[in-house]
Amino acid sequence: MGSVQQRLERFLYSPGPIGDLLARLEARTGVQRLYLATGSLAFLGLYLMFGYGASLLCNVIGFVYPAYLSIKAIESNSKEDDTMWLTYWVVYGVFSIAEFFSDLFLYWFPFYYAGKCLFLVWCMAPVPWNGSQLIYHSIIRPFFLKHHRAVDNMMGDIGTKALDAASSVTREGIKAPLNLTELVQKAK
């Protein structure tokens, strides 16, 4: 257990947004960082279980931090961080679509938003057993490799139909004012 506490304290004292915020709070309040962090996490957990707006808070946690690190990844020269955050966003998107259809039933379960938040944190965690990497490589990638040709064909067909519909609407849109002009001239 000592190694977990040491790693946690190393994280809390490391420079970065969380470490800097905790340093300022520690200087102002005189309360140790470890207590500030555990108290904040306990409050956050309780709020996600019982608080009003837990859905919004959970979605903010699952979006803001990854979006910030995604922007940093775009601006860096490394490809690895780009791949890591693209993988997160693919998993986040698939999860969001699945949640859309199941949310009607799931949000009635106690502690749903706390569980969802833990899932999203696991998906963005910088650990070897990162959730988005595991889910992508074990579920999404095999499904994609099996079905991508059929989806590409379907998307091509939809694109062709959309282009035809847009051309048709444009032709009809041009004809309508001309027909109106003819009607006005005949009425005179």
- Mean pLDDT score of the chain: 82
When pLDDT is averaged across residues 146-164 and rounded to a whole number, the result is 82
Mark out the alpha helices in the chain (DSSP H runs): 2-13, 17-29, 33-50, 54-75, 80-106, 112-124, 131-135, 141-187
The phi and psi torsions of 71 (rounded to 5 degrees) equal: -65, -45
When pLDDT is averaged across residues 68-92 and rounded to a whole number, the result is 91
pTM (predicted TM-score): 0.65
Contacts of 32 (CB under 8 A, 6+ apart): 26
Per-residue pLDDT reduced to its tens digit, 99-129: 888 877 776 777 888 888 889 989 998 888 8
pLDDT value for 88: 94
Contacts of 120 (CB under 8 A, 6+ apart): 58, 61, 62, 92, 95
Domain residue ranges in the chain: 1-50, 127-187
